Amino acid sequence: MTRSPLTRTALATLVAAGLLAASGCGLSGGGAGAEEARRTGEVSGAITFRTLQLKPKFTAYVQGVIDAFEAEHPAVKVKWEDVPGDGYNEKLVADAQAGALPDVVNLSTDSFQLLGDRGMLADVARLDGAVAAEYVPGAWEQFKLPGKGDGVYAYPWYVTPEILTYNKDLLAKAGLDPDRPPTTVEQFFDYAERIAARSGGQYAAFMADPKGRLPGDWQKMGVPLLNAGRDRFAFDTDRAVAWVERMKDLYAKGAMPRESLLKADDINQLYGAGKLVFGPGSPGFVRDIRQNAPQVYARTGVAGAVTGTLGHIGIYAQSLGIRKDTRHPDAAAEFAKWVTNGPNQVEFSRNATIYPSNAKGLADPRFADRGDGQDAETLARAIGAEQLKTADLDANTPVQWTNQVGDAVVREVQRAIQGEQDARTAVRRAQEEANRLLAAGTRR
């Protein structure tokens, strides 16, 4: 499913170029200044439910969930609209300005921050205080907002945690133990150096792709992206410089395909051809490899995500927000809880490589089954679920890290990795440009 919200790749595509402009255009129209709706105890009314690119693959599933809700609550009528991924955030901004946000709206991480930061979403912790216990704590905490106390501004929906995927045979050829994969960013780089030294150029450790690694690696290493006031970038630190220097050294030693620094190669194809040790950190990737490269799938190992000094993992999360001034808060809240309840999320997971944010859903035996310990997809599902239950989840990439900022940072980092400038200069210049872009967006 191209550019589906059900893949981590979609996260990058949804950080649309318009986000920076949107962050400064002001969402004063719509519900930003409106009084927040209060529940009355009457679950009734016509509500609108917007999803992000779930048709046609998941039409039967979503419609089934809606039909069951309406049967349970006959005084409620749900109008479902599904919107393509391209331009989704821009459409949200336009609807917000026009006062036309749906009552219940599917939000990516970026969409959530875009609307939440500007006061467009209802505080669901206030709307329904007892509901927190129904969700995995880390997922519930994802939808708090800096500076807004204990408020939670969306119901967690489906989530995808980061894991580690690797070719066991290639790891062994490099003299590394396939049963002891790397666990930290720093160890990951140590393994890559060993692989480069032993592979003789026959295979590489991982894709260079700084855009794919930043800002995740920095967050895991404890590099602050923003200052305390969240109004300036603050990643110009010794740790960030050390990361760039290490990438430069590994690139020179052949740990990464040289062409992967400047263009986006098909990582699935390279991994499937046995040219890469470490694949993407996505459970969905394991299913793709099983279907497209069964000979490599048989040699694929999976493990918990590489972390860092903070012990965080990356997580891709979808949520359901409630329009702050919805006319039917009881119906909207009950419907959002219905969509995100345990049974409905488990059923969804049978149709897609996703995990429930609902605690009862995640406790389903499906997510604890490791099979015989040999099948990578089964193991990936269990490992991902274990991480969701126990790990501290990575902080969201701040909305200030737009596509423009990411591109600006990567340009400077690429020059350093190629030896065209030193690492400290690259990080300093990257931060200067990032802050210039941030200030320009704020002035609009």
pLDDT tens for the chain, 444 residues long, are: 333 444 433 333 333 333 333 333 344 444 556 778 788 889 999 999 999 999 999 999 999 999 999 999 999 999 999 999 888 888 998 898 888 999 999 998 778 888 987 889 999 999 888 899 999 887 888 888 877 888 999 999 998 888 999 999 999 999 999 999 999 999 999 999 999 999 999 999 999 989 888 998 898 888 999 998 888 999 999 999 999 999 999 999 999 998 888 876 688 889 999 999 999 888 889 989 999 999 999 999 999 999 876 667 777 789 999 999 999 999 999 999 999 999 999 999 998 989 999 999 999 999 999 999 889 999 999 999 988 876 665 556 777 788 789 999 999 999 999 999 999 999 999 999 999 998 886 555
Q: What is the pLDDT of residue 38?
A: 82
Q: What is the pLDDT of residue 32?
A: 58
Please write the tens of the pLDDT for every residue from 169-224: 999 999 999 999 999 999 999 999 999 999 999 999 999 989 888 998 898 888 99
Q: What is the pLDDT of residue 443?
A: 56
Three-state SS for the chain is CCCCCCCCHHHHHHCCCHHHHHHHHCCCCCCCCCCCCCCCCCCCEEEEEEEECCCCCCHHHHHHHHHHHHHHCCCEEEEEEEECCCCHHHHHHHHHHCCCCCCEEEECHHHHHHHHCCCCECCHHHHCHHHHHHECHHHHHCCECCCCCCCECCEEEEEEECEEEEEHHHHHHCCCCCCCCCCEHHHHHHHHHHHHHHHCCCCECCCCCHHHHCCHHHHHCCCCCECCCCCCECCCCHHHHHHHHHHHHHHHCCCCCHHHHCCCCCHHHHHHCCCECECCCCHHHHHHHHHHCHHHHCCEEEEECCECCCCEECEEEEEEEEECCCCCHHHHHHHHHHHCCHHHHHHHHHHCCCECCEHHHHCCHHHCCCCCCCCHHHHHHHHHHHHHHHCEECCCCCCCCCHHHHHHHHHHHHHHHCCCCCHHHHHHHHHHHHHHHHHHHHHC
